Structure 1
């Protein structure tokens, strides 16, 4: 399914999947959840905390052989998914939509967000390595006991950082002229 608009600045969805995702990411229900910068930041912080709590519960479950802790991420999955949806709605699917669906401004914003996110991830990884070395030296732990949690955490941060940065830097939408 193709569109008839051929102007270079008007990129439109070209497949049913693209149209469905574009429609889903641009729905207006729940706009109150991300209408202001403070609310968007609160959702991103909640998402970061839910991710950290899930990882901490998994690491603790493996380290202490406490089975019930491995179920904590399952309990946190629903609020984590809701927070993910709110961030995606706030950014209008900036990181989820295909390139051909986005216009030039959105493509530039996505590139900016990804560059900033990966720069932040580099700093997080540097701190994780330094922290692993310090914990290993001061705590007397071997590197093997610290490596797996650091690698899993690095993967999670690398995977989620662009979404967190996009949610934190999303701009307020212009007010409708009819609302005045």
Structure 2
């Protein structure tokens, strides 16, 4: 199925239809393992944000933050790439490049992700208000913690529909069905 002409780059739709390392996402269990790897990588960013909020950064703290970021990146990039291919770009592609079933799946996935992100925002606001009340009026959020929390929140919001889509995707029917 190589429809690519010489000298022409493949489109996003063509890339999402290719089977890169299909053994990594062929079954529901493996797709859920990939989704869990993305959750782990995103969680490492939240851990970094919590550490930068709770502990003042010195040379060791900055080095620990960079180590967490490096581990998260090494896990995140291949897992997200494989999940995108496993879901055939349901979250990544434009709506006009999807069929009706995929559009419906995308809508359900985004709705669930929206609810989860709303819960995360409520929890984050509750923690921030609680810490502010406990530490008094002169408490302020350190700049690096604010940046870390913002990055973790943005990445969570961005990748959560893909995680949910990869988690929910059923196995294809057997050949004899």
Whether TM-score is above 0.5 comes out as: yes
Q: Number of aligned pairs? A: 162
Q: Point out where structure 1 has 5 or more consecutive residues left out of the alignment.
A: 1-15
Alpha-carbon deviation of 1:84?
0.3
Distance 2:46 2:122 in 1: 19
Mapped to 2, the partners of 1:37 and 1:135 lie a distance apart of 41
Provide the residue aligned with 2:13 in structure 1. 22
State the 1:150 CA deviation. 4.1
Q: Indicate if the aligned counterparts of 2:91 and 2:106 stay in contact, CA closer than 8 A.
A: yes
What's the C-alpha RMSD, in Å, of the aligned pairs?
Answer: 2.8
Equivalent-residue separation in structure 2 for 1:93 and 1:65 (angstroms): 41
Residue number in structure 2 paired with 1:32: 23
Of 34, 40, 49, the match for 1:43: 34
The C-alpha deviation readout for 1:9-68, integer Å capped at 9, x for no partner, is xxxxxxx77x62222212223222222222222211111111221343366468423332
Structure 2 unaligned regions, length at least 5: 1-7
The structural deviation recorded for 1:70 is: 4.1
One of 31, 50, 56 as aligned partner of 2:47: 56
Query: Is the CA contact (8 Å cut-off) linking 2:45 and 2:152 kept in structure 1?
Result: no
Q: Which deviations, in whole Å up to 9, do the C-alpha atoms of 1:52-104 show, x marking residues without a partner?
A: 21343366468423332343213432321101012112211111112221111
- Tell which has more relative contact order, 1 or 2 (C-alpha 8 A, sep 6+): 2
**Could you say what secondary structure the match of 1:64 adopts?**
coil
Superposition deviation, residue 113 in structure 1: 0.9
TM-score, normalising length from structure 2? 0.75
Note if 1:71 corresponds to 2:66.
yes
Query: Equivalents in 2 of 1:136, 1:35: separation in Å?
Result: 47
